[in-house]
Chains A and B, each alone.
Chain A
């Protein structure tokens, strides 16, 4: 007999052992429920974290842009509009006014990790008879590549960016039939084409991005886009990515330029995350309810089967509270053991899934991370659900009239 346990604990374990078939069935039920929850939540969290990591390492947290050009109505006097029909002007490529001052302001703002000056715009890449419409991003690699982790996505070559170098995507390389070391002619707003050497080919995981995005040195970008001395944007990485919107609003108010945070520009992503999390909560709640009803039904049957024994225990001096605890503990133990087994099964399934299911580029779909908080929370939650599920049958047991129970 396990004497370090009080009577209630011993009786709960013995009753469970004696009814081992029922115990195994309900443990399997609880385990499967918990395994589904652990598996689903871990995958969801992992995929979201992976996606978030990709988003945050392939774009700036905040982009400062020149304000939109607007047409102002012509007034013929106070309150008199000369022409009521206003046509929105086209947004020509132009530099941010006083960008050096703004950059200094941004760099000294608390929470800002790095600022990169960028000259970007549309251009044309030519290789023999093949041409492609591309987007060139001219940036200082020392700063810019700390924001957008281009070096992490390079599949051939090195990320050297002198004034005559260019980095291109895999799909553009295929389209133009080029590889590392080859030269391309690039024509931007400047009428003079530049011959640039391909120093690296990258794969950003998106066909569109791999076909159109190219990186050149900052001054090369300015030259190609006819923006000598200017920048089209200031790109910023902040220490806390989720504080980006607040910092963006602050910067916009202080500098007068447009500041778009990644949170604002990826609103759909957050909506999708919210929807996924809601569906996960609904599924987990349904699983928890199934587990609770499963445990409760087994304990109700157990109370009926053990009615005479409960009567005997009461005759021998067992208080109602002791009888209550015997069945509550069974619920709690079933919940806890089921959660332990379920967590192990969920972790195993996750490992198999992690190894078998990859992204199109062969990288992992999600990191194999078992959040201790998730496991701890699941164990605690399942135990509490088990205890609560045991409440009704335990009260039924405690209320039994011993004389009636002994008679059977």
Chain B
């Protein structure tokens, strides 16, 4: 099976003032097969968010090899990483992080607006189809500040899927939601994974939701202790 993400010997260190250097990730090896639906769990401070940022090309590893969507990220400059990120990775954040100055539909269209070259009608059709898929058609023209947490997170999922990414990274997407809303959002992501075959890597503290994932990767003190491959 093809790999959507391959991590080999990923290390990450932070300088906290010379000469002190703290290593957060100690040689991570993970392979995410195409269409996987994975949970990334671990105690606070174990390096989950750091790892997610590296996989999401928002941060660079100190050492190791990272391949995303079949492309080795070694040596890519900021512009190339940005392009690769925009084309292959979708993000769902804990605090949904929609842009308040835009409506729900415009937030969903945002990745296409940024990448340019898309016809207006095509963008609108794609955004409306996704909003319909996440049950948010009624609120497409609503300002995102008027949406509930669950609704905003659904819009956020639609936005993450807009560019048909090979990999969706979700950082505690249900962390701010009540149980019913959390289940709804989780179900939504699971359905998208099943229907569209996108790979999902979901950071969660909720063992109940983690158990519903096909695979659990556990990180403790910057090392994978379960589910590396």
Contacts and interface: CB of A to CB of B under 8 A. Distances in A.
Interface of A: 1, 3, 6-7, 10-11, 14-15, 17-18, 308-309, 311-320, 322, 401-403, 406-407
Interface in B111-131: 111, 113-116, 120
B200 interface: no
B149 interface: no
Contact of A1 (B53, B100, B106, B114): B106
Nearest to B90: A316
Contacts of B115: 317
Contacts of B106: 1
Given A317-B82, A317-B85, 12 more contacts: A1-B106, A7-B113, A18-B100, A308-B97, A312-B91, A312-B98, A313-B114, A316-B110, A316-B111, A318-B82, A319-B83, A403-B59
Nearest to A6: B116
Contacts of B3: none
A173 B78 CA distance: 87
B222 interface: no
B79 A319 contact: yes
Given A317-B111, A322-B114, A312 B85 contact: no
Contacts of A15: 101
Contact of A312 (B59, B97, B163): B97
Contacts of A311: 97
Given A11-B101, A317-B87, A406 B110 contact: no
Which A-B residue pairs are the 7 nearest by beta carbons?
A317-B86, A14-B101, A403-B58, A18-B101, A7-B113, A403-B53, A403-B59
Interface residues of B, number: 30
Interface of B: 49, 53, 56, 58-59, 78-79, 82-83, 85-87, 91, 93, 97-102, 106, 110-111, 113-116, 120, 159, 163
A378 B51 CA distance: 52
B114 A17 contact: no
A316 B101 CA distance: 16
Given A18-B100, A309-B99, A402-B58, A316 B86 contact: yes
A365 to B, nearest CB: 48
Contacts of A308: 97
A18 B91 CA distance: 24
Contacts of B78: 320
7 contacts: A314-B82, A316-B110, A317-B111, A319-B83, A320-B79, A320-B82, A403-B58
Contacts of A318: 82, 86, 114
A309 B144 CA distance: 13
Contacts of A17: 101
B165 to A, nearest CB: 10
Best-surrounded residue of B98, B99, B116 (most CB of chain A within 10 A): B99
Contacts of A406: 58, 93, 97
Contact of A14 (B85, B91, B102, B111): B102
Given A7-B114, A309-B99, A406-B93, A319 B58 contact: no
A317 B163 CA distance: 10
Given A317-B82, A317-B85, A317-B86, A3 B114 contact: no
B60 to A, nearest CB: 10
B83 A312 contact: no
A315 B91 contact: yes
Contacts of A3: 120
Contacts of A315: 56, 58, 85, 91
Best-surrounded residue of B106, B110, B163 (most CB of chain A within 10 A): B110
Contacts of B91: 312, 315-316
Given A319-B82, A403-B53, A313 B110 contact: yes
Contacts of B58: 314-315, 402-403, 406
A15 B102 CA distance: 9
A398 to B, nearest CB: 10
Contacts of A314: 58, 82
A6 to B, nearest CB: 7
Contacts of A313: 99, 110, 114
Contact of B83 (A1, A14, A317, A407): A317
Nearest to A317: B86
Contacts of B113: 7, 10
B30 to A, nearest CB: 19
Nearest to A321: B79
A315 B116 CA distance: 16
B39 to A, nearest CB: 21
A17 B110 CA distance: 18
A233 B163 CA distance: 88
Contacts of B100: 18, 309
B103 to A, nearest CB: 8
Contacts of A320: 78-79, 82
Contacts of B93: 312, 406
A348 to B, nearest CB: 33
Contacts of A14: 101-102
A403 B110 CA distance: 19
B96 to A, nearest CB: 10
A150 B160 CA distance: 82
A311 B82 CA distance: 12
A14 B49 CA distance: 31
B92 to A, nearest CB: 11
A407 B97 CA distance: 10
Contacts of B83: 317, 319
B101 to A, nearest CB: 4
Nearest to A10: B113
A266 B149 CA distance: 77
